[in-house]
Structure 1
Amino acid sequence: MARFVLSLHTPPSDHDTTQRIIKFAHACLAQGHTIDALFLYQNGIYHASENFELASDELQIPTLWQQLADKNINLMLCITAAEKRALNCKHTGVFSVAGLAEFAMLTSDADKWIQFK
C-alpha cells in the first residue's frame, strides 16, 4: 500500500477543497493506505485557528479534523505561514506546529504528495 502526505493551501471558507481533502483522506485509509501527515500551508493554516465561529448549518470543519486526528493522522501546520498570518500557535487544536524542513522530510519519504488548492 502507498504512503501519502497531503497538504491543504486554502482557507476554511473554501468548503469544496476542504471536503475534497477530507474525503480523499478517508478513502485512502479505507483502502489500506497510510497518510503520514496532513500539512496546512499558506491560507490553509486558518483551519487551525480557534477564532472563527461557524453557524450550526455550516460545514463543521473542526469536527472533520478531529475525526482524522482520531484516526492517528499527523495533522500539522506550517509555523512560518502561521506567524506571517498572526495565528496564535499556542492554540491550534488538533494540529501540531512544524517547519517546512520537517514537511520536506515527510514528503521525501512518502510515495505520493498531493496538494489541495
Structure 2
Amino acid sequence: MSQYVLSLHSDVSNHDALQQLLRFTQALQAQEHQVACIFLYQQAVLFASQHFNLASDELQPTQLWQSLHDAGIALKLCVTAAEKHGLDTTQCGPFEVAGLAEFAMLATKADKWVQFK
C-alpha cells in the first residue's frame, strides 16, 4: 500500500481536472492506498469558496469536498493563494489552511505526489 499526496492547480471552470482528481482518489481508495491529503493551490483555491451556486445537474464541489473529508482525507488550502484570491481563510469549510512548507513536508513523506492541472 502506498501513500499519495494530491494537488489541484486548475481554475474552477476546469471541472475535468476536478473529476479526474475524484476518480483517481476513488481508484486509490479501492486499491487500499492512502491519500494523505489533497492540496489546493494557485487558481484551484477558488474551489474552496463557500459561495458556489451551481445548477443542481452540475458537479457540486462543496459536496465533493465534504465527502472526501468524511472519508478521512485531509484537505489543505494554500493560505497565500487563498488570500491573493480574496478568500476568507477563517471560513474554509472542510479545508485547513496550510503553507507551501507544510505541503512540501507532506509530499516528501509520501510515496507519490500527483498533480492535477
TM range (shorter): over 0.9
Q: 2:33 is matched with which residue?
A: 33
What is the rounded CA distance, in whole Å, between the counterparts of 2:65 and 2:23 in structure 1?
Answer: 11
Report the alpha carbon displacement of residue 101 of structure 1 after superposing the two structures with TM: 0.5
What is the rounded CA distance, in whole Å, between the counterparts of 1:12 and 1:25 in structure 2?
Answer: 18
Q: 2:18 is matched with which residue?
A: 18
Q: 1:104 is matched with which residue?
A: 104
What is the rounded CA distance, in whole Å, between the counterparts of 1:47 and 1:57 in structure 2?
Answer: 17
> Residue type of the partner of 1:77?
L
106-115 or 48-57: bigger deviation: 48-57
SS of the residue corresponding to residue 88 of structure 1 reads coil
Q: 2:92 is matched with which residue?
A: 92
Number of residue pairs the alignment of both structures matches = 117
Q: 2:75 is matched with which residue?
A: 75
In the alignment, is the contact (CA less than 8 A) between 1:3 and 1:35 conserved in 2? yes
* Percent identity between the two aligned chains: 54
In the alignment, is the contact (CA less than 8 A) between 1:12 and 1:61 conserved in 2? no
TM-score for the superposition, normalised by structure 1? 0.96
TM-score for the superposition, normalised by structure 2? 0.96
Q: Where do 1:44-59 residues align within 5 Å?
A: 44-59=44-59
What is the rounded CA distance, in whole Å, between the counterparts of 2:12 and 2:64 in structure 1?
Answer: 12
Structure 1: any 5+ residue segments left out of the alignment? Answer: none
Report the alpha carbon displacement of residue 20 of structure 1 after superposing the two structures with TM: 0.2
